[in-house]
C-alpha cells in the first residue's frame, strides 16, 4: 500500500489538556479521508501537526515513507502538504494572483503573468472557477475558499487538508467544492476533510477515521458506514438521532410583524415589506440562502437594526395577550426585558453574544447586569445561573471562571443558548444555533428548543440545514432577496419546495403572508 502520510503514536498536550493521545493513522495516496469526531476531540490539532503549525510532543510523522520533521508550515509545503484552515489566511487588498504570489520562494522571479498562466492551468485541470484579478475583499466566502485551495495547489501540494470547509457554504457551493475534490483525487492527490455533516462524509469520502477525546478510535470504509454507525463510533454509545417534534398546543400569538422594511448602512433595502406572525408553543423556522435578510430580520425584532418608517413589530406579553406592545423604536435592552431574547451564533462563535475573556459567570451577567438600581453588579445570581446552565446542558468547563474562549465550540454554544433560555423568555430567536457543532450536541440543542416550545415559548429558528428545518419546525418562513417568499407547513412540505422558494422569488403579490 502506498501511504502519503503515516502518523505513529503522536501525542500533543497543551498544559494539562491532552489534545491527542497516541494517535496512529494512515492517509493513502489518491484517497479522500474524512476525519470525524465530536467538538473538542482533537481533529484540528492533529491536522495542525501535519501542517507544521504545532509540533508533536511525542511520536513521529512519515511523509511518503520517510520520517519528516515538520517544524513550520513552510516545511509542510516543501513536503507537499497544504492545509485550508477555517479562517482564511488571505490579504484583503490583494488580488487573487497577488495572494498566490505571496508564497514564492526567495529565488523565484516575481512574474505575475507567468504565475497567472500557471494558475489558469491548475484551474482548468480541476475545474475551479476563479477570477484572477478580483480583490479578496470583494470575494464571497466560497470564492475565498477556492482561492485558498488554488494557492495550496500552486505550491505543489499533493496532500490537502480541509478543516470544516463546508461549514459556511451553501449546498450548491458545497457540491461544487466536492466536484473539485473528486477531480483532485482522480489526479492521485490525497485529501483529508474534516466535517460534522455526516451526509457529506458519506457522499464524498472513501474512508472515515474517527477520533474520540483525542484518541484514535477506528477507521471504516465509507461504503460500509451509515449515519447511525458513524455517530455511534464517534460518541462511543448508541445515540438516538431523532428530533422529538411535539404538536403545538394552544398556540398564542406573541409576535406580529407587519410591513417590516430595513435598510443597511449602504442604504440598500435588505428586508422588504416582511409580514408574519409567531406563536407561542410553535417553532417558526426561517430558511433562506445566507445573506437574504435572516440576520437583519432578527436584529430588527431585537432592536439592533433600525426599521424603516411604516414598519410595525407588535409583541404580546404573557398574561396580556390583547395588549400590543410596539417594539419598533425601543432599545435592545427594553425589548429583551420584555421577554424577546436573541441568541445569534456568528461565524467566530463568540463575537456577538459572549465575552471570550470572561468565565461562564461573567457571561451570564451580560444581558441582566443592568437590573436593579444598585451601582454594583449582583455577584450571586449569575453564579447560581451559571451553575444551573452548566448542570442542565452538561457544559464541560474546568471552572465557572475559566474564560469561555478556552472552551470547545459546542460548549461555547451551550453557554450562549443556555443563557437565553434560562430566563424563561416569551419569544426566543436563535440563529445558526448548531453552527459547527457535532451531531450529538446539535441534537441536544434541537431537543432543548423543542422543550422551550412545549413550555409555550415562541421559538424562531434560523438555520441552514433544510432537513433539520423540516424535522424541527412547525412552520417555515422562506426569505428570498429580503422578501417573504412563502410560509409553508413543515410537516407537509418537501425539501424541493423549500429549495425552490429559497432560490426563485415568486411574483409580486403572491408572496404575501398566508
Partner 1 sequence: MSSNHSVHREPAVRIVKRDTVTMGKKIFVRAAAILLALVVDAFFIFFVTGLNPLSVYRVMFDGTFMTPIRFSWALRDLATLLCIGIALAPAFRMRFWNVGAEGQVLVGGLVTALVMVRCGQSLPTPLLFLVMFVTSIAAGAVWGMIPSFFKAFWNTNETLFTLMMNYVATSIVACMTNIMRGQASSLGKLNMSNQAGWFPQFGITFLPDILNQRYTINILSVILLMFGMFLYMKYSKQGYEIAVVGESENTARYAGINVRKVTIRTMLISGAICGFAGFLIVAGRDQTISTASAGGQGFTAIIVAWLAKFNTFYMALISFLLVFLSRGASEIASAYSLNDFAASIIEGIILFFILGSEFFINYRMIFRGSGKEVQA
Quote the cell numbers at residue 464: 441552514
- How many Å apart are CA 472 and CA 278, to the nearest integer? 15
451 near partner 1 (CB under 8 A): no
First to last CA, the chain: 61
Residue 98 near residue 160, CB atoms below 8 Å = no
352 near partner 1 (CB under 8 A): yes
- How many Å apart are CA 229 and CA 333, to the nearest integer? 46
149 near partner 1 (CB under 8 A): no
Site residues for partner 1, 183-202, by CB under 8 A, read: none
365 near partner 1 (CB under 8 A): yes
- Grid cell 448542570 is found at 391
Selected binder of partner 1 within 134, 143, 229, 377 (CB under 8 A): 377
Stretch that binds partner 1, among 120-128, 138-146, 298-306, 308-316 (CB under 8 A): 298-306
Taking the least distance from each CB to partner 1, the nearer of 68 and 434 is 68
Taking the complex as a whole, the smallest distance from the CB of residue 352 to partner 1 amounts, in Å, to 5
Q: Site map for partner 1, 76-95, x if CB under 8 A?
A: --xxx---------------
316 near partner 1 (CB under 8 A): no
| Ordered DSSP codes for 401-420 | TS-GGGS-HHHHHHHHHHHH
Stretch that binds partner 1, among 55-63, 173-181, 240-248, 272-280 (CB under 8 A): 55-63
Q: Site map for partner 1, 328-347, x if CB under 8 A?
A: ---xxx--x-----x-x-x-
Give 381-390's long-range contacts (Cβ < 8 A, gap of 24+).
385/419, 385/422, 386/359, 386/360, 386/361, 388/422, 389/360, 389/364, 389/414, 389/415, 389/418, 389/419, 389/422, 390/360
- How many Å apart are CA 386 and CA 400, to the nearest integer? 7
Site residues for partner 1, 7-46, by CB under 8 A, read: 14-17
Taking the least distance from each CB to partner 1, the nearer of 239 and 366 is 366
| Ordered DSSP codes for 166-180 | TTT--HHHHHHHHHH
70 near partner 1 (CB under 8 A): yes
Selected binder of partner 1 within 22, 26, 75, 347 (CB under 8 A): 75
Count residues contacting partner 1 (CB under 8 A)? 50
- How many Å apart are CA 87 and CA 256, to the nearest integer? 38
Of 308, 304, 377, 311, whose CA–CA distance to 336 is shortest? 304
379 near partner 1 (CB under 8 A): yes
Collapsing DSSP to helix, strand or coil, 234 comes out as: helix
Selected binder of partner 1 within 59, 103, 291, 356 (CB under 8 A): 356
Taking the complex as a whole, the smallest distance from the CB of residue 120 to partner 1 amounts, in Å, to 24
Taking the complex as a whole, the smallest distance from the CB of residue 282 to partner 1 amounts, in Å, to 25
- How many Å apart are CA 113 and CA 190, to the nearest integer? 29
Chain residues that interact with partner 1, rule: CB under 8 A: 14-17, 55, 58, 63-64, 66-71, 75, 78-80, 156, 158, 302-304, 331-333, 336, 342, 344, 346, 350-358, 362, 365-367, 369-370, 374-377, 379
Amino acid at each position: 500500500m502506498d501511504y502519503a502520510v503515516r502518523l505513529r503514536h503522536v501525542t500533543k498536550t497543551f498544559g494539562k489538556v491532552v489534545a491527542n493521545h497516541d494517535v496512529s493513522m494512515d492517509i493513502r495516496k489518491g484517497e479522500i479521508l474524512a476525519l470525524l469526531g465530536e467538538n473538542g476531540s482533537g481533529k484540528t490539532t492533529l491536522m495542525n501537526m501535519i501542517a507544521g503549525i504545532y509540533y508533536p510532543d511525542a511520536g513521529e510523522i512519515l511523509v511518503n515513507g520517510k520520517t519528516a520533521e515538520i517544524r513550520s508550515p513552510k516545511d509542510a509545503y516543501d513536503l507537499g502538504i497544504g492545509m485550508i484552515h477555517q479562517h482564511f489566511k488571505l490579504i484583503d487588498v490583494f488580488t487573487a494572483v497577488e495572494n498566490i504570489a505571496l508564497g514564492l520562494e526567495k529565488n523565484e522571479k516575481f512574474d505575475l503573468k507567468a504565475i497567472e498562466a500557471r494558475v489558469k492551468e491548475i484551474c482548468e485541470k480541476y475545474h475551479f472557477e476563479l477570477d484572477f484579478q478580483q480583490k479578496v475583499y470583494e470575494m464571497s466566502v466560497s470564492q475565498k475558499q477556492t482561492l485558498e485551495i488554488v494557492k495550496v495547489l500552486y505550491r505543489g501540494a499533493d496532500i490537502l487538508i480541509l478543516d470544516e470547509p463546508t461549514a459556511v457554504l451553501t449546498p450548491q457551493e458545497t457540491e461544487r467544492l466536492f466536484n473539485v475534490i473528486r477531480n483532485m483525487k482522480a489526479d492521485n492527490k490525497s485529501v483529508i476533510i474534516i466535517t460534522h455533516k455526516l451526509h457529506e462524509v458519506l457522499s464524498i469520502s472513501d474512508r472515515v477515521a474517527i477520533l474520540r477525546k483525542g484518541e484514535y478510535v477506528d477507521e471504516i470504509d465509507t461504503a460500509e458506514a451509515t449515519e447511525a454507525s458513524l455517530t455511534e463510533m464517534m460518541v462511543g454509545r448508541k445515540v438516538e438521532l431523532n428530533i422529538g417534534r411535539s404538536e403545538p398546543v394552544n398556540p398564542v400569538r406573541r409576535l406580529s410583524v407587519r410591513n417590516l422594511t430595513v435598510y443597511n448602512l449602504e442604504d440598500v433595502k435588505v428586508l422588504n415589506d416582511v409580514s408574519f406572525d409567531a406563536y407561542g408553543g410553535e417553532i417558526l423556522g426561517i430558511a433562506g440562502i445566507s445573506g437574504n435578510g435572516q440576520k437583519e430580520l432578527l436584529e430588527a425584532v431585537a432592536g439592533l437594526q433600525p426599521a424603516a418608517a411604516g414598519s410595525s413589530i407588535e409583541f404580546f406579553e404573557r398574561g396580556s395577550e390583547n395588549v400590543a406592545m410596539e417594539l419598533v423604536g425601543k432599545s435592545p435592552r427594553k425589548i429583551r426585558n420584555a421577554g424577546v431574547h436573541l441568541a445569534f451564533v456568528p461565524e467566530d462563535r463568540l463575537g456577538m453574544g459572549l465575552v471570550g475573556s470572561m468565565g461562564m459567570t461573567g457571561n451570564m451577567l451580560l444581558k441582566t447586569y443592568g437590573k436593579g438600581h444598585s451601582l454594583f453588579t449582583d455577584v450571586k445570581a449569575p453564579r447560581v445561573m451559571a451553575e444551573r446552565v452548566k448542570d442542565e446542558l452538561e457544559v464541560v468547563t474546568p471552572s465557572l471562571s475559566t474564560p469561555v474562549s478556552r472552551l470547545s465550540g459546542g460548549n461555547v454554544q451551550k453557554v450562549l443558548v443556555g443563557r437565553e433560555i434560562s430566563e424563561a423568555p416569551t419569544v426566543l430567536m436563535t440563529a445558526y444555533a448548531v453552527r459547527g457543532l457535532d451531531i450529538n450536541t446539535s441534537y441536544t440543542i434541537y431537543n432543548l428548543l423543542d422543550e422551550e416550545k412545549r413550555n409555550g415559548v415562541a421559538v424562531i429558528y434560523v438555520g441552514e440545514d433544510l432537513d433539520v428545518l423540516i424535522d424541527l419546525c412547525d412552520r417555515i418562513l422562506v426569505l428570498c432577496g429580503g422578501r417573504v417568499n412563502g410560509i409553508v407547513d413543515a410537516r407537509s412540505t418537501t425539501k424541493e419546495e423549500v429549495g425552490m422558494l429559497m432560490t426563485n422569488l415568486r411574483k409580486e403579490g403572491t408572496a404575501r403572508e398566508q
